[in-house]
Amino acid sequence: MVEKINTEKFDTLMAEKGVVIADFSATWCGPCKMLAPVLEQVASQFEGKCKFVNVDVDESSDLAQRFGIMAVPTVIAFKDGQQVNAFSGYQGQPQVVAFVENVL
């Protein structure tokens, strides 16, 4: 499951150990709407191994600025609170699975 979070929840997650896959998106973004079901599928595949979260860049613009989000969707992988990888734009399920496997 992909959990929709705000800045406070994001900062709490970053203080914890483990892998977090953060999807920075917007409600008005077409490619974001295409990527969302792919991320849901991949999240269920990796359940218990990492957390998947969604950050709305309009509601949490401070986070978007903090990570220099210039395009949506942008997906950033964090390991133990540190950014380790990212991609922007739509990716299919095989590419997203490979992205997550490379971080784990």
pLDDT (0 to 100) of residue 34: 98
Q: Is 29 a catalytic residue?
A: yes
Helices and strands (H and E) in the chain: how many:
4, 5
Q: How many structural domains does the chain have? A: 1
Tell me if the pTM is above 0.95: yes
Residue 1: domain span: 1-100
Q: CA nearest 103: which of 69, 80, 72, 73?
A: 80
Looking up residue 30, the CATH number of its domain turns out to be 3.40.30.10
Q: Is 50 a catalytic residue?
A: no
Q: CA nearest 74: which of 99, 49, 94, 101?
A: 99
For the residues 92-98, what does the mean pLDDT come to? 98
Q: Can you tell me the distance from the alpha carbon of 11 to that of 27, in angstroms, rounded to the nearest whole number?
A: 22
Query: Which of 32, 35, 55, 76 does the annotation list as catalytic?
Result: 32
pLDDT (0 to 100) of residue 85: 98
- Tens of pLDDT, residues 41-93: 999 999 999 999 999 999 999 999 999 999 999 999 999 999 999 999 999 99
For the residues 17-44, what does the mean pLDDT come to? 98
Query: Which of 2, 21, 29, 39 does the annotation list as catalytic?
Result: 29
pLDDT (0 to 100) of residue 88: 98
